[in-house]
Chains A and B, each alone.
Chain A
Amino acid sequence: MSIPLKLAVVGGGPSAFYVVSRVLQQLPQNSALGARLRVHIYDRLWAPHGLVRYGVAPDHPEVKNCTSKFDETAHDPRVRFFGNVNIGAAPINPSPDVTNLPLSSLLPHYSHLLLANGCPTPRVHPALSLPSSVCRPALDVVHWYTSHPASAGPPDLSRTEHVTVIGHGNVALDVARILLSHPSRLEPYDVPNAVLDILRTSRVKHVSIFGRRGPLQASFAPRELREMMSLDDVSFTPLSQDIIERSESEINAVEKISEPQVAGGQTLGIGTGYSRAQKRMFNMLKSGSKAHYGTTPKTFSIEFFKSPVGLEYSSGPHSVSLKLSHTTLDSPGPNARAVPSGEFSTIDTDLVLPSLGYIPDSSFFADNLSSSWIATPGLSHVRNNSGRIVDTEGNLIRNAYVSGWAASGAKGVLARTVEDARVVSSAIVEDYTKSSTGDSVDDQTQSSVLSTSPEITLDSIPSEVQIGLERGAVTTYEDWKQIDAEEIRRGQEEVVIGDLKKERQRMDWSSAKVFLSDVRDKTATSSS
């Protein structure tokens, strides 16, 4: 008898659900292979859906519609979800309700592994090392407004007039948009009341968003930029003529060297030229905000060709002064690198929020088993070949896969995760189908960390997880659906304005735990 496909998934975010959904679809339950398929999704947080719950900005509720697909996936009887289980070498969350399970205790129960644990760690900048009251990762702000279990608490906005965000990606724009929005705009959305209360005390007047390259190299998405330009009572500091001219000459230079690819399909946005997105965003930056600069109580600016080199406390009207090195590009084009121009400048600001990219959780890869899977230098992603994990020696780790940001590095929106899930699910299903027909894979180039026993029990789980389930610390998908419904119900009780109700009132773990225990008590009473 061949081994079953008993898959442990580390991380319960979108890439996990998209890959699992496609594996289930390709191996239907009524097929011989599909009958021997089981999927156990582990998340270190108590709630599933990863960045869809704890990353997507609250004023983007449509992006969260993908959870109906995740519900459908979790509903398959072959799938189980275990929340509050931290897989890895070092415990990250001090909560007594989190079960810490080393990889070595997990793997003997499974024949296959999928790492879908993303890039949860913000990159740090050596020049930006002051206490969190004046400098903290932009991700802290996201954790705060989403009530992430690892939130380090709110920023002190009552003493902050000028905010500096460093980085030109969507996290930077999300954070800037939330800090500049009038709280009443956010009330109908999934923003906790405690967050709205802090935003009501905010004295933020201006947000500067710095990047070391130019308008044509920014990693924003057009939608995020358009939203910034359309905010009520907020205007954009117009681009300087110098920046506009530099960018226009870059476009001309690049278009001369990269002939448009006209033949066959007229593909836009590939090759060495600027993509349609980059050109449209440059036009948005040139046109500026809907509200005229100078007519609004709040403003923001997007600053180019500047990179932080130092941060110190200031005796002036603002808390700190940030020293910036000016840069220029080594060549025109979307992949140009920033090089120092030799000039420097300094700005005074109250709060610095770096958003310089995100990397995998190094504590997970501190394990002997997994330390050779992470790409060095940079630690930006798990080494893989179309989703199949390879170690630093180039050996395939048999039946071990990686998807989403853990595989690609922290770039791209949900659509990319969906596309990559096709590749990874095909790899899993192809390898499994081959191995089950005895079409053996070459053992010489593969090392194995998972169970290869055909006798592996399809429905077994590690005893630590079983104990956690029994004491109500480990959560199931059914628990989550109860909480999901209750959060929506509590939101509906709150009238925001007119007939408009709040989308949901999200719970943290302490209130979710109380709620779940009440539900269990009621079920026990009614059945006795």
Chain B
Amino acid sequence: MHGGINRPEPGTGLKVHFKDSKGNHIKTVEVNEGDSILEIAHEYDIDLEGACEASLACSTCHVILPPEYYDLLPEPGDDENDMLDMAFGLTDTSRLGCQVIMKKELDDIIVTLPAATRNMYVDGAKPTTH
């Protein structure tokens, strides 16, 4: 299941650094102008879902950007904001990965994945005795 994009010759592409929700570096990849963060994540096996396949009908490709990169992007429209509203762990610099399209100014962007899991319900279990 890959992103359907081409990987640039090593050393020639724009760089994207992926981090997990705790800020740990996952991997740095090289990409071409015009690729979306969602396509890039799929191409390089980063765990970003993209359930609606970039049609702005879900929030499963939610990512968090550094403010200085966030400001380089056009403002999200109502449709994207409506979906971001449903994202868990929404921040001031959240975007949908499918709407972030790589361009030269975004070289070296750090893309942070949101906390993978909210706390699931606990109905109480007996403490385990060892």
Q: Point out residues on A near B: beta carbons under 8 Å.
A: 60, 62-63, 65-66, 68-69, 72, 221-223, 226, 265-270, 275-277, 280, 375, 381, 383-388, 390, 393-396, 407-408, 413-416, 418-420, 422-424, 442, 444-445
Contacts and interface: CB of A to CB of B under 8 A. Distances in A.
Given A226-B78, A445-B128, A375 B123 contact: yes
B72 interface: no
Interface stretch (B5-13, B32-40, B79-87): B79-87
A445 B116 contact: no
Interface residues on B, range: 35 or more
Contacts of A66: 51-52, 58
Interface in B83-130: 83, 85-93, 116-118, 120-126, 128-130
B84 to A, nearest CB: 8
Nearest to A268: B90
B56 interface: yes
29 contacts: A62-B56, A62-B57, A65-B53, A222-B85, A222-B86, A223-B79, A226-B78, A265-B64, A266-B91, A268-B91, A268-B92, A269-B85, A270-B89, A280-B81, A280-B82, A280-B85, A384-B123, A385-B123, A385-B124, A387-B120, A390-B123, A393-B126, A414-B51, A415-B58, A419-B118, A420-B117, A424-B120, A444-B129, A445-B126
B90 A267 contact: yes
Contacts of A396: 125
A222 B56 CA distance: 13
Interface in B22-59: 49, 51-53, 55-59
Given A390-B125, A414-B60, A442-B128, A277 B85 contact: yes
A433 B93 CA distance: 38
Contact of B120 (A226, A375, A386, A414): A386
B58 A269 contact: no
Contact of A442 (B86, B120, B123, B129): B129
A415 B86 contact: yes
A384 B124 CA distance: 8
Contact of B116 (A268, A415, A419): A419
B58 A222 contact: no
Contacts of B52: 62-63, 65-66
Q: Choose among B56, B93, B123 the residue with the greatest number of A CB atoms under 10 Å from its CB.
A: B123
Given A396-B125, A415-B59, A65 B82 contact: no
Contacts of A69: 51
Contacts of A269: 85, 90
A415 B88 contact: yes
* Chain B residues touching A, majority SS: loop
Listed from nearest, the 9 A-B pairs whose CB atoms lie closest are A277-B85, A62-B55, A62-B57, A383-B123, A222-B82, A223-B82, A65-B53, A66-B51, A394-B126
Contacts of A383: 123-124
A452 to B, nearest CB: 19
Given A407-B121, A418-B51, A60 B57 contact: yes
B115 to A, nearest CB: 9
Given A385-B122, A394-B125, A414 B82 contact: no
Contact of B58 (A226, A275, A413): A413
A423 B122 CA distance: 12
Contacts of A394: 124-126
A221 B53 CA distance: 20
Contact of A265 (B51, B59, B91, B118): B91
Contact of A419 (B55, B88, B124, B130): B88
Contacts of A420: 117-118, 120
A421 B78 CA distance: 28
Nearest to B123: A383
A72 B130 CA distance: 42
Given A221-B85, A386-B120, A419-B117, A63 B78 contact: no
A269 B118 CA distance: 13
Contacts of A388: 125
A226 to B, nearest CB: 6
A377 to B, nearest CB: 13
